[in-house]
Structure formats: C-alpha cells, structure tokens
C-alpha cells in the first residue's frame, strides 16, 4: 500500500500523467515562442501565448542543486531516509524537482542524470532520475 | 512611505508589543486570538490609544487553516470588536508583516485610516502542530510534494547547497550566523535560547537536510505581537516618539522550488532593498541596525548579498559573528532573531518590533548606541517573497 502523497491529477495535467503511465515524459511547448516550460500550464509563462502543444522529452538533464533529507517530510517518507531530492535542469531548458535514486554521497551538482519511471500505483507513475552512465 | 518628509499624514509607528514566552511557549497560556488581543492592547496602550481608536486592521493568519485562519482580518476584527474601514490580510509567509507596514503606511498617507493595527499570533509549540510535511499535492504542488522535500527547510537547503557550489561558502560560515544570533540572545532576557554556542556546536548538531544542521534552523515557538501605526501629527498630539516609515518595497517570485529563478541569488530582495532605500533617499551607510529574516542561516547570507551590504558570493565571509554580533560594526538581528529569540511560524512582525525598540532606545544591554535608522527585511515561504522597510527617527 503506497501511503505517500500522490499528485491530485486535474484536467490541465491529465495528459502529462497519462503519458507517464506509458513511461513517456512530456513537456508543454509554445508554438509562438518555441520554448518549453514546466510545470505544464495553459498560458506560456515566457510569452503568454496560448498556442501550446505537448512534446516528448528524453528526460535527460543536469543536477542544478539537491539536498539529502535526513529527516522525512512526514511519517510516510521515514522508511526512505536518507533520500536525495534534486532540482534538475532538463536539456530543453525547464527545471523540475524529483528524487535521484543514488546513494547520497555519490550525488554532486553538475552531474548528468536520466529519467526513470516509478510506477507507484496503478494510476500514478512518478518521474525520477538516476545518475547517467558516463 | 512615499510622502515627502514633512508632508501631511506621514505614517509612523507608535507602539509595539509582543507576548512574553517561557521556554518558547506563551507565558500566559492562550490561543492565537487571545495572545494577539493582549499584544494589541499593550501596543496601543503604549501609544495612549485604545482598541476603539483602531480603524485599520492588518494580519496574516497561520492558525486554524483551513478554518478561521483563512479569513484572518475578519476573525481578529470580530475577536477585538473592531469594524475596520481599511484591512489587509496579505499573506506572503513570514514577510507578510513588512508588507503590512508598507500597505498601512500608504493607507494612512492616503487618509484611508487613522490608526492601523498589525497583529500576529501562533501557539504552534504549545499545540505541537508543526511538522515537515509539504503542501497538499494539488495544483502546482502536484509536481513537488510527492517527492518528499521536507518543508520548508528542504528548499533552503537546496539554496545553501548551490551557494556553496558557486561561491565556496562553507558550513562553518553558515554556522557562524547561528553563533552571532546566540551572542545577541545572551543579552536579551526575553530570548528563548540564551546559552552561547560555537561553530563546532552547530556542525555537531544533527544534519536535517544537507548542508543544514539542526542549529542552522530557526526555533519552533509560540508567539504573538502587535504594531500600531498612525500619522506623525497624531503621534505628536499623543506625546509619542514616532518611528517613521521612510521606505518600502515588496515582491514575490515563486511557490514551487523549481521555479525560483536562481536559488543562489535573491533577485526579489535585490529589488525590494533597492526600492526601499531609493524611496527613503538613503544609502547603505545610513543604516545603523539591520533586522533580516533568519529562518535558516543561509537566509541571512543570501539576504545580505541581495540587499547590497556585500557582493554576491561574499555573504558567508561578511556575516561572520564578529561583524554582526554585539559590539560589531554591523549590528544585525539584535533580539537573537528567529534562530535564538523566537520563531512562531511567521517571524516578520518580530523583526519590526525589535527595529522599533532599537530606534526608541529600549533595548537595555543589547542596545545599539545612537541607532536612528533601521533596515528590516522579511523573507517568506521558501525564499518566495521579500519585503523591505526603512524605519527612521527622522
């Protein structure tokens, strides 16, 4: 039984989570300014246009910063401690938060990472990262 | 705040009060509402005013959410029996109260109200209600809460990690901020933690979120406070020494940690600090005492850099306890701050209370001699919001 918080999926984000269930990572791309953003919105945060499309992403990027949680974010995370949470700069530009599945002492800012898909329930797949093989 | 010196209806602070604590809990047990009410009455009494004089009411509630805390000015107004003609429940986290002072100043200058009361109260320690769980995983938070970042310190830890990476800031430099706070607290009988500590004590305390140790984090205490503002003319009629609000700036940038533009640089604080000083017509060297939000040791380093007291990346060296502690050339967080005085969930009001007390010369052993101008800077949520106030005796 998975007892950690699950995303409350809404009409705006259903396509994003649906793609993750199929182990595909997607970003919103603006047809006006050609830039991608995360998290997905109805209006481009860069140029404020509304001609947006979902675009596939390889889910590769670089660790911008991270921390190691030695105390859990609530009892549901206790068994995971210590765990690494990072902000990852995706190669397309946007930055996102996710866990990095690696021993804390092996994680450094600037490391290359690649996406892994964690099927935590039947309906939710969380994105995560692992250290890229050099 | 925007009015030229000597203009009619210049906004001033005329009263401040906060609830005495014992071991971080309200010395007189109560609720967030009763504690705020007592502090409000004390602050008004100081100025020769009563609750019946209050026609402007500003507060940010962190109690009973969801519940009455979602409508904080209404809840407090009802409790105090006040029907305000101006109210503001702006909640930008811990910096809300610096925003309130700016908003109240504008309202007073514009004649929207005559006596503004700003309050805050929390019984989070007595209630044992503080936890590290994140925000509900809906809307924008569906992309962060599921990953288990301890909130709020996880976001600050990410900022500290990046600051160390970019600038070579060290854990010992972070620790020195906490050492300085304790040195001030040792001079303040009202402070919660008064035992001196050394850098090694901080580094030996349990790691919470790398690189932040337990002693890099602010206290979890109860607390309640109030601040009263009116016009300079009214203050003169009351025979009260006024503290002028000469400059103000506010901004916010993000709620999701991934959307903070640069975690090693507080862009919003750069702007609010510059705007506040510009509006006051003052330069950094005119500031005698500084009160900056110290939710975590890294917060202070980032803030001092952003406000321009030192260059980007030099905050670790600048914030050394020798400079910022008692007797140093840059007196900062003279009550002991959120790290050693008290931190009742949102601390911004207590920065303002200490600044006003310093300017009025009420600080006893910790008094900064001749302090006539103070800079107060609030930081809220996870480095999300900023607000700067310049307070002055002239």
Q: Are B226 and B211 found together in one domain?
A: no
Please check whether residue A2 lies inside any domain of the structure: no
Q: Are B124 and B35 found together in one domain?
A: yes
Q: Are B194 and B56 found together in one domain?
A: no
* Strand A95-100 with A83-90, pairing: antiparallel
Here the CATH number for the domain that contains residue A34 is 2.40.50
Tell me which residue in B139, B145, B161 faces A109 most closely, judged by beta carbons. B161
In Å, how far are B55, B104, B346, B380 from B229, measured between CA atoms?
Answer: 11, 8, 20, 23
Q: Are B39 and B183 found together in one domain?
A: no
Q: Do B208 and A70 touch (CB under 8 A)?
A: yes
Tell me which residue in B132, B158, B263 faces A73 most closely, judged by beta carbons. B132
The pLDDT score that the predictor gives to residue B1 is 63
The pLDDT score that the predictor gives to residue B115 is 98
Name chain B contacts of A127, Cβ cutoff 8 Å: none
Q: Do B132 and A64 touch (CB under 8 A)?
A: no
Closest-approach residue (CA) in chain B for A71: B208
* A15 phi and psi angles, rounded to 5 deg: -60, -35
Written as one string, the DSSP assignment of A82-106 is SEEEEEEEETTS-EEEEEE-S-GGG
Question: pLDDT at residue A134 above 80?
Answer: no
Q: Are B255 and B381 found together in one domain?
A: yes
> What are the E-state strand segments in B60-215?
86-88, 116-122, 207-209, 212-213
Q: Which domain holds residue A62?
A: 14-131
Closest-approach residue (CA) in chain A for B262: A64
Please check whether residue A102 lies inside any domain of the structure: yes
Size of interface A-B (CB pairs under 8 A): 118
Here the CATH number for the domain that contains residue B82 is 3.40.47.10
A67 inside 8 A of chain B by CB? yes
Please check whether residue A6 lies inside any domain of the structure: no
Q: Are B232 and B293 found together in one domain?
A: no
Closest-approach residue (CA) in chain B for A75: B133
The pLDDT score that the predictor gives to residue B223 is 97
* Assigned token pair, B138: 């809906």
- Show pLDDT as tens, one digit a residue, over chain B (394 residues): 656 777 889 999 999 999 999 999 999 999 999 999 999 999 999 999 999 999 999 999 877 777 888 899 999 999 999 999 999 999 999 999 999 999 999 999 999 999 999 999 999 999 988 777 778 999 999 999 999 999 999 999 999 999 999 999 999 999 999 999 999 999 999 999 999 999 999 999 999 999 999 999 999 999 999 999 999 999 999 999 999 999 999 999 999 999 999 999 999 999 999 999 999 999 999 999 999 999 999 999 999 999 999 999 999 999 887 899 999 999 999 999 999 999 999 999 999 999 999 999 999 999 999 999 999 999 999 999 999 999 999 9
3-state secondary structure of B31: coil
Please check whether residue A3 lies inside any domain of the structure: no
Q: Are B273 and B227 found together in one domain?
A: no
Does residue A50 contact residue A42 with C-beta atoms inside 8 Å?
Answer: yes
Please check whether residue B146 lies inside any domain of the structure: no
Please check whether residue B35 lies inside any domain of the structure: yes
Please check whether residue A22 lies inside any domain of the structure: yes
Please check whether residue A7 lies inside any domain of the structure: no
What counts of helices (H) and strands (E) characterise chain A? 1, 8
Tell me which residue in B136, B142, B161 faces A67 most closely, judged by beta carbons. B161
Question: pLDDT at residue A57 above 90?
Answer: yes
Please check whether residue B158 lies inside any domain of the structure: yes
Tell me which residue in B138, B158, B209 faces A70 most closely, judged by beta carbons. B209
Residues contacting B59, CB < 8 A, separation 6+: B36, B72, B73, B76, B89, B100, B118, B119, B120
Q: Do A5 and B157 touch (CB under 8 A)?
A: no
Q: Do B132 and A65 touch (CB under 8 A)?
A: no
Q: Is the dihedral of CA B257, B260, B265, B271 positive or negative?
A: negative
Closest-approach residue (CA) in chain A for B157: A67
Q: Do A95 and B259 touch (CB under 8 A)?
A: yes
Tell me which residue in B137, B207, B259 faces A5 most closely, judged by beta carbons. B137
Which one, of B18, B60, B21, B22, lies nearest residue B42 by Cα?
B18
The pLDDT score that the predictor gives to residue B194 is 98
The mean pLDDT value for A11-30 works out to: 98
Q: Are B292 and B189 found together in one domain?
A: yes
A98 inside 8 A of chain B by CB? yes
For chain A, the straight-line distance linking the first and the last C-alpha, in angstroms and rounded, comes to 36
Please check whether residue A85 lies inside any domain of the structure: yes
Distance from CA of A77 to the nearest CA of B (A): 7
Which one, of B369, B376, B368, B378, lies nearest residue B392 by Cα?
B376
Please check whether residue B137 lies inside any domain of the structure: no
The pLDDT score that the predictor gives to residue B186 is 98
Please check whether residue B258 lies inside any domain of the structure: yes
Q: What is the set of active-site residues of B?
A: 293, 341
Q: How many domains does chain B fold into? A: 2
A90 inside 8 A of chain B by CB? no
* Strand B373-380 with B223-231, pairing: unpaired
Q: Are B89 and B180 found together in one domain?
A: no
Please check whether residue B232 lies inside any domain of the structure: yes
Q: How many domains does chain A fold into? A: 1
Partners of A83 in beta bridges:
A69
Q: Which domain holds residue B367?
A: 151-217+248-392
Q: Which of A66, A85, A106, A123 has the highest number of chain B CBs within 10 A, making it the mutation to test binding with B?
A: A85
Query: What is the C-alpha to C-alpha distance for residues B214 and B218, in angstroms, rounded to an integer?
Result: 8
The pLDDT score that the predictor gives to residue B53 is 98
The pLDDT score that the predictor gives to residue B67 is 81
The pLDDT score that the predictor gives to residue B2 is 59
Please check whether residue B302 lies inside any domain of the structure: yes
pTM over 0.90: yes
Query: What is the C-alpha to C-alpha distance for residues B281 and B284, in angstroms, rounded to an integer?
Result: 10
């Amino acid at each position: 039984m998975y007892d950690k918080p699950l995303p409350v999926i809404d009409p705006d984000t259903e396509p994003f989570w649906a793609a993750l269930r199929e182990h595909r990572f997607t970003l919103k791309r603006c047809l006006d300014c050609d830039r991608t953003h995360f998290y997905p919105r109805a209006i481009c945060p860069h140029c404020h246009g509304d001609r947006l499309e979902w675009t596939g992403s390889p889910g590769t990027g670089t660790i911008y910063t991270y921390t190691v949680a030695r105390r859990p974010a609530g009892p549901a995370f206790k068994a995971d401690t210590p765990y690494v949470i990072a902000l990852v700069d995706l190669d397309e530009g946007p930055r996102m938060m996710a866990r990095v599945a690696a021993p804390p002492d092996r994680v450094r800012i600037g490391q290359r990472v690649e996406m892994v898909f964690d099927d935590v329930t039947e309906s939710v797949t969380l994105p995560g990262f692992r250290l890229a093989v050099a | 705040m925007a009015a030229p010196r000597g203009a009619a209806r210049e906004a001033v602070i005329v009263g401040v009060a906060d609830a005495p604590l014992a071991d971080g809990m309200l010395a007189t047990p109560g609720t967030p509402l009763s504690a705020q009410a007592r502090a409000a009455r004390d602050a008004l009494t100081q100025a020769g005013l009563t609750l019946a004089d209050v026609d402007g009411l500003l507060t940010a509630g962190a109690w009973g959410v969801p519940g009455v805390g979602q409508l904080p000015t209404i809840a407090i107004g009802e409790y105090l029996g006040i029907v305000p003609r101006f109210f503001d429940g702006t909640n930008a986290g811990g910096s809300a109260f610096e925003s309130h002072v700016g908003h109240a100043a504008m309202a007073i200058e514009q004649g929207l109200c005559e006596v503004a009361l700003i309050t805050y109260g929390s019984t989070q320690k007595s209630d044992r209600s503080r936890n590290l769980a994140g925000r509900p995983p809906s809307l924008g938070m569906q992309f962060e809460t599921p990953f288990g970042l301890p909130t709020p310190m996880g976001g600050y830890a990410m900022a500290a990690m990046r600051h160390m990476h970019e600038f070579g800031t060290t854990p010992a430099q972070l620790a020195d901020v906490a050492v300085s706070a304790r040195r001030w607290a040792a001079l303040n009988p009202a402070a919660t933690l008064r035992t001196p500590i050394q850098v090694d004590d901080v580094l030996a305390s349990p790691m919470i979120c790398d690189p932040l140790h337990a002693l890099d984090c602010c206290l979890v205490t109860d607390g309640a406070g109030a601040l009263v503002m009116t016009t300079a003319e009214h203050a003169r009629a009351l025979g009260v020494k006024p503290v002028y609000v000469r400059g103000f700036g506010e901004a916010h940038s993000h709620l999701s940690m991934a959307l903070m533009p640069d975690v090693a640089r507080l862009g919003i604080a750069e702007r609010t600090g510059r705007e506040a000083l510009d509006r006051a017509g003052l330069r950094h060297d005119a500031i005698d005492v500084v009160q900056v939000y110290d939710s975590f040791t890294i917060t202070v380093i980032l803030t001092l850099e952003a406000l321009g007291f030192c260059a980007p990346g030099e905050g670790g060296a600048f914030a050394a306890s020798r400079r910022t502690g008692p007797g140093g050339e840059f007196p900062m967080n003279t009550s002991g701050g959120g790290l050693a005085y008290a931190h009742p969930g949102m601390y911004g009001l207590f920065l303002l209370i200490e600044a006003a007390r310093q300017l009025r010369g009420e600080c006893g052993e910790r008094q900064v001699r001749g302090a006539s101008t103070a800079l107060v800077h609030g930081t809220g949520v996870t480095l999300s919001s900023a607000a700067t106030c310049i307070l002055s005796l002239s």
